[in-house]
Structure 1
Amino acid sequence: MTYNKGRTFKAGLLGSTASVLAAMALTTSVAYAQDSQNADAEFEEVVVTGSRIPRKDLIANSPVNVISAEEINVGAFVEVDRVLDGLPQTASSNGPTTNNPGNGQANVNLRNLGTARTLVLLNGRRMVGTGANGVVDLNNIPPALIKQVEVVTGGASAVYGSDAMAGVVNFILKDDFEGVQVNGQYGLSQEGDSERYNVDFTLGGNFADGRGNVVIYGNYLKRAQTLAGDRDFAAVQLDEFSDDNGNPIFLPGGSSSIPQGRFSGSGGFNFLVDDNGNPVAYDGSQHAYNFAPVNNLQLPLDRVAVTAIGNYQLTDGINMFAEMSYTNNRIEAQLAATPFSEANVDIDLRNPYMSQSLRNLFATRDDDGDNIVQLTINRRMLEAGPRLNIDNNKMHRYVVGFNGDLSNGMNWEVFYNYGKAEQTQRQDGNIVISRFKAGLLVDPDDPTQCLNPVNGCVVINPFGEGNMTEEMINYLKIAATNVTMVSQQQVGATIAGSIMELPAGDLGFAAGVEYRKERAETQPDTFLATGDVDGFNAGLPTKGDYDVKEIYLETVVPILSGVAGAQYLGIEAGVRFSDYSTAGGVTSYKIGGEWRPIDDLKFRGLYQRAVRAPNVNELFLGASNSFPGATDFCNATSTRTAAERAFCLQLGVPADQIDTFQQQDAQIEVLLGGNPDLFEETSTTWSVGAVLTPEAVPGLTVTADYYSIIVDDAIATFGGGLQSTMDACQAALDINDPFCQVLTTRRTDGQLEKVPLFNQNIAKFTAKGVDFSVAYNFDALGGNFDIKMLGTRFLEAITQGSPIVDEQDCVGLIGVRTVCGRANPEWAFTTRLTYTIEDFSASIRHRYIDSVTDERVAFGTRDAADTLVPVIPSVNYFDLGLRYRLSENIALFTNVDNLFDKKAPIFGRGVAGQLNTDAGTYDVVGRRFTFGFRANF
């Protein structure tokens, strides 16, 4: 591994390139899978995602799933992430129903290997990421302008470069539209909420006697807010307790930061303040704050988008093309009021708002008689209202280039691609820590005034619910504004086609050069940068950039054709060398082939080595805080050993609390940040499969592919996360062990805080399984039936957070804020059946999610008998779509999603901070109706 920031690339590359991606002319009404391979007679040469070499056989050696514009129309999809929901290869990620974590952006996560390991292309060229992590927000893709989506799963770095470790999603837009099309739709849930309004128009036409074409597209989408309090299953935060007989039971739970104010210290001192100002012993099972109802269940979104695409044939062999797109997404996340939670806070006993009984209690801790006591305060600031995080995301993208054909049949392209994303984030509801502390210290001569009147200090009253006045809140509360700027430049050239005729067919060849520069900068608000806030996560500025110069070659070599036992036999290979200004030189490659013993059957296989260089966020992220769930092994439990007890004293748990010590909250504050010494991730991917298109059953295509992806040196937080760091330290029990050193960041009461977990090349991921698909189109009952089924059987989903922890296979499991995270079902498949007769069509989509087991039960850390929901049963969702062509120009449609109103399974505190369930996997809104029209002129 070479780390060399300023090295000059010896080959003198021009820069980046991407292939000219022609659309596949799929003739079925829903094109999820590959079409028939009678390509010589029916198709011109095209480029299929996964290779840059034009070919007539549309069934590539890399398994490619295709989603057509017809599928988008049938599903009435106005959010692109919902278009991809039907692919079993995509795992759930943060989206419109994941409020914490999540910011309303829509991402794609192939093979559950992380959104940063899936490359998103638009017309075969890179999209600019929305944040410093380079991850693309799918809200910037115009759904009504999509001609089709091609999804390649498995490493594709040799073809497309970094980030394509799990695969590539290529959105191909309409670039030859003629006429006017207007679409409008309105949707709402069965409860009368979760509304969606969408309207878009497409205008296109030819000019200059057909030598040119221009397409202009506009869209407005409004998605309404839905609160968790609007659904019974999410309105109350549920925690798992034991009843009098020791059986698990769900009871209302929540946060230990409560509106009444909780004051705690060493020696078991732990009190809240009742409505009369008197101290009451805190009982977590009775007094926890229900933060659920004011959280978003569906995040509101306002989107305005404009796209223009043009091309003009300058000469018979040269064509000019250009693309322009602009999107403005306004997304609002909402959380419960700020949980002010600070240790070692000085409280003045002369505070005029303190009751005498409370003063007497606090005075027992005033050992030096100075009227100042030091305690930990946990108070939910209801008077300040909910926390709002309003993101305005603007994306600009411009592409210009030339392509054409050479006299020898080769084609070429050069282009420049520029993208810029601007995110302005406004936070409301943050509480300034220093001001809160200042408001607790009073002037001894006039206790109604602050000891230090700076910043207009106001003496505050945190003693009891609702006691903060408007004047106090105005002093404590601030709105913060953070700004993120991301830019991407890509320029390149490519040449591809057939370079000679071999006895078995054309020798395919592609070569190209690319140059790309990525730059990102995040400037947090001053209060956030200094860490002087409670509310949203604080963080330091992030700023960095890198560039990469690349060269690649690809070839397809036919070996046999038209002989007994080999209607076709050929191999393909590709290699890419990339020189990063940060990670140095890296190489990715692929080799594979296909064998068609008879016309009806094709075998295919591919071996690939992919790489992913660290992004700006991973390299240069300024320290920020997060609150993952974890269990401190220092907790005084019956299973804690004497050695662990003694070691926890070394870590900083006070001796007078060691025998009663319990962590206060399930979530513990950690510090995350970048590491400029990171190097590239690598993955080894191979797949082998078969495609059956029996001539005896016209219209039938069956595919099956086994895949294996192993990612080494994966970039992850130190130790693989907080819980695995704790596990490693628990195994070592050595204060000099690096995994133990980070656990010494404790308050005086022994509670962990600000645990430093900065990025490292430390993790390993494995994904293995079998993909299968069936597509069948036939005529019956006076109309046409079209059936498409896509499925996956997951065999391995292994996570190893660091080399010092055991591998954990998450297939069939769901996490509780620890290893596995969201649901990882063994089986997942989607089937759509469409029947069309004359001007009417009806379509039903079935999505199946297999049952999943609580990871704690699977890993043996909890007995199934002691777990209220050890297994979440399998879930079936059905979506219905009806369309009727009213006239030649106007069609009406209606859709019912979640037709049978399948409720989200309740899973207690759920995963990844979600409300009682896995909101990224299961439907939390319920049955939804959509009504709309499409008009063409």
Structure 2
Amino acid sequence: MKAVFRSRLLVSSLLIGTTLSAHPAFAQIVPQTEETATGDASQAPADVPSGDIVVTGTLIRNPNLTSSSPVNVVGQEELALRQSNVAEEVLRSLPGVVPSIGSSVNNGNGGSSFVDLRGLGPQRNLVLLNGSRLVPADFNGQVNLNIIPLALVDRVDVLTGGATTTYGADAVSGVVNFITRKDFSGLEINASEQITERGDGNVFRVDLTTGANLDDGRGNVTLSVGYQKAKPVFQGDRDVSIAQVDSVTGEESGSGTTVPIRLNLGDGNGTLQLDPASGNLVPSYQFFNFNPYNVFQTPFERYSLYTAGRYEVADGIEAYAEGLFSKTKVSTVIAPSGTFGLSYQIPYNSPFLPAGVLNAACAANGLDAAACAAAASSTATPVAGQNTFGATLSRRFTEGGSRISEYTTQLFQFRTGLRGDVGEHLSYDVSGSYGESENTSRSTGQGLFSRTQAALLANNTTTCANGDAACVPLNLFGPEGSITPEMFAYLNIPTTSATKTSLATVRGVLSGDFGFATPGANDAVGFAVGAEYRRYVAESTSDLSSQTPDEVLGAGAANPDSRGTYNVKEAFAEIIAPLVQDRPFFHNLTLELGARYSDYSTAGSNWTWKAGGNWEPTNWIKVRGNYQKATRAPNIGELFSPQVTGLDNFATDPCQGAAPVTNAQLRAICLAQGAPASSIGSIEAEPSAQPNNRTGGNLDLGVEKATTWTAGVVVTPDFVPGLTISADYYNIKVRDAISQPSFGDALNACFLESNNPGLDPTNPACTAIRRNPATGGLFGTAGAYVPLPYSNSGRIWTDGVDLTINYRRDLQFAKLDLSFAGNWTNASKFQATPASVIRECVGYYSNSCGSPGAGINFRGSIQPEWSFNQRTTLSFDKIDVSLLWRYVDKMEYEPLAVEELLNDNNPDTDPPLEQFRRIKAAHYFDLATRFAATENFDFTVTVTNLFDKDPPLVGNTIGSTSFNSGNTYPSTYDALGRRFAFGAKLRF
């Protein structure tokens, strides 16, 4: 039994084996087979026989097993050729994966990176490390990919399609399983340096891995430590993004919070701008170009440590442990702060008030010339509401420099357990794990509303009315430079917040076979049964300023303290039964069944189940299929997040412009939503396309239900040695989906006659929208918002085909490896509520298109209809040359969005320019060359975006702020340009 047990432990772990062979790993994606799950036997120790394996997608260990679910593998050598530094960069370029928050997201990056399989949202896929869950990064249960130690990753298994029966909730769209190298022995040092052709965006990374086998193979200890630092790439340093371009007009534009100041006195004249030469208020003539301050690559720093050990303490008993520690720092850099259209009280006797502004304020508040002069010359101490006037101010604090937020995440996770064999046919694995993640944010350069207001209440240039000796009177009415360093220092109080999460797991699995086979088969029927307990806790804390609505200028939503927790108890079972083997037309026929019972402390109990199988009519063709009933319980964020007002993305407002003056029904709606009568005719859309929404958790949410099925074929023809082809169709439907309507959906529910016959202003869809009581806009105060509540009213469905082709041939003078991995997405549809439109977002982009039901933070990414990666590699004696071709299909602006803008009863709300409604297909080529200088040293040079292809220009108001930035989509299209990476590996 000792020999059997040792073979199982040395060749496999609970969820997949050891290393891939060097040259086959050049394939960008390969389908998982027995070979890719166990690795090249030639690399295993000579005295270790081949043993049981378990592939991602099932818990059963069987030496002849391949799962009925499609699992693709990205090998260690592919990671080395790409010279990617974080896992998110690798995953977002894979066909079938939609870009999520990552290194190319600046405004909207909270310090973590996520993966989004099938575009269903990062909360619907699961990220594992060696088959074990990782502690989430936030309230939504999403795992931060920045923590993955790539230096020790042997390969990445990507299972697309439902996997909740095997792994539990969160695996509706699939699983990403990072497999680390096993039984590492020796010392390995990896170092790399990356820089763009323009000389910016430098990335440095170094990793050291060491390991040793113990007691003649009875155990092993491995340790890997690493450091990485990436510098920013500013949008002002790329031609496509030097100036912010309005997607509707095609003209250079920008934010309405600018220099000189813009202000609205509430007198019906709308928002006007100061003319410094005359001191008068005139129609707006200048916006603020915020692009040069923003970045295409966020600054990033990481320290990581990973260790693993195992030891066979007795026959049939092995103790093992695994530990991960990571400290990362992500910095976001955005344009200077400002007053952003908030309402302030300004004294008539302010020493900084230009005569033109004073006269306009007096006229707006009914003061004649004599009263105005008396108010201006008064020496009375300013008191808000007595000798002051109100106005919404939009003045940029350019003198204060950029706003910088530093997100520092510290994470640790430890797992330990016992595993082994009980007899010849039964194995066990019992483990427990605990992890904590803490993300701390420190932001500077923002300024506080209360201090800005206090500094405005002054009748001289040295003291403020509040009696605070530190307060410095503030001059917002001068040209750039009128805010002195002393003035801004009083406003600029750093703010802090923290999110802490923890995950505790206890799990036990019994797996093996029944010791007998069905009458028509040779292999025994395999099974796995087990139970698992998980407890999630998440809490956020912040300083008083961050918790107060509108207090931190330009910060979006307030961040009140909150906490949530839940636990889940689960039991599961799987069976894989070979039915017929080694018969004509039935080389192998296997049935796969599974079920899981889950009991959530918040959402009650539910069942999930799966049924699948493989049919191999010959030894070179396999037909496989899998059907699953999946569920997902609401996460902590969806349940417990407090109601807050934050920023969304939408370039127009149905109440903007002159339309409400002539359209009585439209006017009535605008007034019912809280717009003052004086604002009708002068309401404007938020100039930088960031109006307010209102979101929060819903304790009444229930479980969402999904059906997923896949059907495919794997061909490895004997008559074409070295060729493997796999094609799989997938279909995922989610009902009772936990979702939010898009901003456009919420507006359309009120302003489109098809949704609101007669444009009834008392319709709840209209009255739920609240407007700025001073300007009538949907921005400028936390009291103005469009509500986007969570509910179980959504429906999501997507389907498509994954295709992989791999071919290997010895050309005598070199070895040729060809690989192709492609995805065709037929549909990706989302209906937020039964009354909402059905949005089809495959091949389309807009403010409303992106990850269906993924929440506002992930809306707006791009999902092409067709994408592929093709790699060609020639391997000579000591040199490998490899070319990777990445393809993204053509895209189009969402036709439904055009239709909605043309039918919202406001002729002033135009769709984007025709030239921005199309994006041509993109072709990128990456060239990598590896030199084996000695047996222990190799050197790799990678040129990414070999032909320096520019990203498409579509303007800056056509999509969400997170993904439509710098006039393009930098998470999908390469905005950095040609860049070079140099990597070295030294082994002992």
Which TM bucket (shorter chain)? over 0.9
State the Cα distance separating 1:561 from its structure 2 match.
Answer: 1.8
CA distance 1:755–1:86, shift in 2 (3 Å): closer
* Residue in structure 1 matched with residue 271 of structure 2 by the alignment: 270
Task: Check if 1:519 corresponds to 2:537.
Answer: yes
- 8 Å contact kept, 1:623–1:671: yes
- For the residue of structure 2 that corresponds to 1:233, the secondary structure is helix
- 8 Å contact kept, 1:844–1:879: yes
* Residue in structure 2 matched with residue 439 of structure 1 by the alignment: 455
CA–CA separation in structure 2 for the residues paired with 1:297 and 1:698: 45
CA–CA separation in structure 2 for the residues paired with 1:331 and 1:450: 38
* Residue in structure 1 matched with residue 374 of structure 2 by the alignment: none
* Residue in structure 1 matched with residue 25 of structure 2 by the alignment: 29
* Residue in structure 1 matched with residue 516 of structure 2 by the alignment: 501
- 8 Å contact kept, 2:940–2:982: yes
- 8 Å contact kept, 2:392–2:774: no
CA–CA separation in structure 2 for the residues paired with 1:58 and 1:30: 24
CA distance 1:37–1:442, shift in 2 (3 Å): closer
CA distance 1:428–1:45, shift in 2 (3 Å): same
State the Cα distance separating 1:887 from its structure 2 match.
Answer: 0.9
CA distance 1:375–1:310, shift in 2 (3 Å): same
Superposition pairs of residues 451-490 of structure 1, within 5 angstroms: 451-454=465-468, 456-464=470-478, 465-490=480-505
- For the residue of structure 2 that corresponds to 1:29, the secondary structure is helix
* Residue in structure 2 matched with residue 919 of structure 1 by the alignment: 970
- 1:549 maps to amino acid: K
CA–CA separation in structure 1 for the residues paired with 2:467 and 2:695: 35
- For the residue of structure 2 that corresponds to 1:589, the secondary structure is strand
CA–CA separation in structure 2 for the residues paired with 1:757 and 1:494: 42
**Cα deviation per residue 1:577-616 (whole Å; 9 max; x = unaligned)?**
1111111112211111121122221111111111111111
Task: Check if 1:240 corresponds to 2:247.
Answer: yes
- 1:761 maps to amino acid: N
CA–CA separation in structure 1 for the residues paired with 2:501 and 2:312: 33
Please report the RMSD computed on the Cα atoms of aligned residues, expressed in angstroms: 2.3
- 8 Å contact kept, 1:558–1:569: yes
Superposition pairs of residues 82-161 of structure 1, within 5 angstroms: 82-161=89-168
- 8 Å contact kept, 1:262–1:282: no
- For the residue of structure 2 that corresponds to 1:341, the secondary structure is coil
- For the residue of structure 2 that corresponds to 1:878, the secondary structure is strand
CA–CA separation in structure 2 for the residues paired with 1:397 and 1:882: 36
Q: How many pairs were matched up?
A: 907
737-746 or 562-571: bigger deviation: 737-746
State the Cα distance separating 1:535 from its structure 2 match.
Answer: 2.5
- 1:812 maps to amino acid: G
- For the residue of structure 1 that corresponds to 2:984, the secondary structure is strand
- 8 Å contact kept, 1:312–1:319: yes
State the Cα distance separating 1:690 from its structure 2 match.
Answer: 0.9
CA–CA separation in structure 2 for the residues paired with 1:823 and 1:287: 32
807-816 or 357-366: bigger deviation: 357-366
State the Cα distance separating 1:343 from its structure 2 match.
Answer: 4.0
**Cα deviation per residue 1:394-429 (whole Å; 9 max; x = unaligned)?**
110101001001213221100011111111110102
- 1:535 maps to amino acid: G
**Cα deviation per residue 1:460-512 (whole Å; 9 max; x = unaligned)?**
21102321122221222210011111111011100111113222132111110
* Residue in structure 1 matched with residue 379 of structure 2 by the alignment: none
State the Cα distance separating 1:900 from its structure 2 match.
Answer: 0.8
271-280 or 194-203: bigger deviation: 271-280
CA–CA separation in structure 2 for the residues paired with 1:803 and 1:113: 19
Task: Check if 1:251 corresponds to 2:251.
Answer: yes
* Residue in structure 1 matched with residue 875 of structure 2 by the alignment: 836
- For the residue of structure 1 that corresponds to 2:624, the secondary structure is strand
Superposition pairs of residues 673-692 of structure 1, within 5 angstroms: 673-692=696-715
- For the residue of structure 2 that corresponds to 1:770, the secondary structure is strand
- For the residue of structure 2 that corresponds to 1:903, the secondary structure is coil
- 8 Å contact kept, 1:49–1:152: yes
Superposition pairs of residues 709-724 of structure 1, within 5 angstroms: 709-717=732-740, 720-724=741-745
* Residue in structure 2 matched with residue 905 of structure 1 by the alignment: 952
CA–CA separation in structure 2 for the residues paired with 1:766 and 1:338: 41
State the Cα distance separating 1:29 from its structure 2 match.
Answer: 3.0
CA distance 1:375–1:858, shift in 2 (3 Å): closer
797-806 or 542-551: bigger deviation: 797-806
Superposition pairs of residues 223-234 of structure 1, within 5 angstroms: 223-234=230-241
859-868 or 909-918: bigger deviation: 859-868
**Cα deviation per residue 1:65-117 (whole Å; 9 max; x = unaligned)?**
01111111222222112222442021111111110122352211100111111
450-459 or 543-552: bigger deviation: 450-459
* Residue in structure 2 matched with residue 799 of structure 1 by the alignment: 830
Superposition pairs of residues 419-818 of structure 1, within 5 angstroms: 419-442=435-458, 449-454=463-468, 456-464=470-478, 465-502=480-517, 503=519, 504=521, 505-531=523-549, 532-537=551-556, 538-630=558-650, 631-636=652-657, 642-665=664-687, 666-717=689-740, 720-730=741-751, 731-732=755-756, 733-752=759-778, 753-816=784-847
State the Cα distance separating 1:331 from its structure 2 match.
Answer: 1.0
Superposition pairs of residues 149-228 of structure 1, within 5 angstroms: 149-228=156-235
Identify which of 960, 972, 981 aligns with 1:930: 981
CA–CA separation in structure 2 for the residues paired with 1:858 and 1:378: 29
State the Cα distance separating 1:663 from its structure 2 match.
Answer: 2.7
Q: Of Structure 1 and Structure 2, which has the larger fraction of its residues in strand?
A: 1
CA–CA separation in structure 1 for the residues paired with 2:912 and 2:96: 33
- 8 Å contact kept, 1:558–1:568: yes
State the Cα distance separating 1:144 from its structure 2 match.
Answer: 1.2
- 1:291 maps to amino acid: F
- 8 Å contact kept, 1:816–1:855: no
- 1:318 maps to amino acid: I
Give the unaligned 5+ runs of structure 2. Answer: 1-11, 42-49, 372-385, 779-783, 851-858, 903-909
- 8 Å contact kept, 1:271–1:279: no
CA–CA separation in structure 2 for the residues paired with 1:379 and 1:865: 27
CA distance 1:859–1:158, shift in 2 (3 Å): farther
CA distance 1:660–1:481, shift in 2 (3 Å): closer
State the Cα distance separating 1:119 from its structure 2 match.
Answer: 0.2
Task: Check if 1:853 corresponds to 2:892.
Answer: yes
CA distance 1:823–1:447, shift in 2 (3 Å): closer
CA–CA separation in structure 1 for the residues paired with 2:116 and 2:561: 27
* Residue in structure 1 matched with residue 87 of structure 2 by the alignment: 80
* Residue in structure 2 matched with residue 3 of structure 1 by the alignment: none
CA distance 1:903–1:694, shift in 2 (3 Å): same
**Cα deviation per residue 1:504-523 (whole Å; 9 max; x = unaligned)?**
13211111000000101110
**Cα deviation per residue 1:158-177 (whole Å; 9 max; x = unaligned)?**
00001101100000111300
Superposition pairs of residues 204-353 of structure 1, within 5 angstroms: 204-240=211-247, 242=249, 250-264=250-264, 265-276=266-277, 278-283=279-284, 286-353=285-352
- 8 Å contact kept, 1:419–1:488: yes
CA–CA separation in structure 2 for the residues paired with 1:818 and 1:80: 25
Superposition pairs of residues 861-900 of structure 1, within 5 angstroms: 861=901, 866-900=913-947
- 8 Å contact kept, 2:849–2:861: no
State the Cα distance separating 1:55 from its structure 2 match.
Answer: 3.0
CA distance 1:317–1:37, shift in 2 (3 Å): closer
- 8 Å contact kept, 2:20–2:76: no
**Cα deviation per residue 1:319-369 (whole Å; 9 max; x = unaligned)?**
111011111101110110113124442211100111223222221112265
Please report the TM-score for the alignment, with normalisation by the length of structure 2.
Answer: 0.88
- For the residue of structure 2 that corresponds to 1:416, the secondary structure is strand
- 8 Å contact kept, 2:225–2:306: yes
State the Cα distance separating 1:755 from its structure 2 match.
Answer: 3.5
CA distance 1:152–1:818, shift in 2 (3 Å): closer
- For the residue of structure 1 that corresponds to 2:976, the secondary structure is coil
- 1:212 maps to amino acid: G
CA–CA separation in structure 1 for the residues paired with 2:185 and 2:512: 29
Please report the TM-score for the alignment, with normalisation by the length of structure 1.
Answer: 0.93
CA–CA separation in structure 2 for the residues paired with 1:269 and 1:68: 60
**Cα deviation per residue 1:165-196 (whole Å; 9 max; x = unaligned)?**
11000001113001111111111000011101
CA–CA separation in structure 2 for the residues paired with 1:241 and 1:610: 42
State the Cα distance separating 1:641 from its structure 2 match.
Answer: 5.0
- For the residue of structure 2 that corresponds to 1:460, the secondary structure is coil
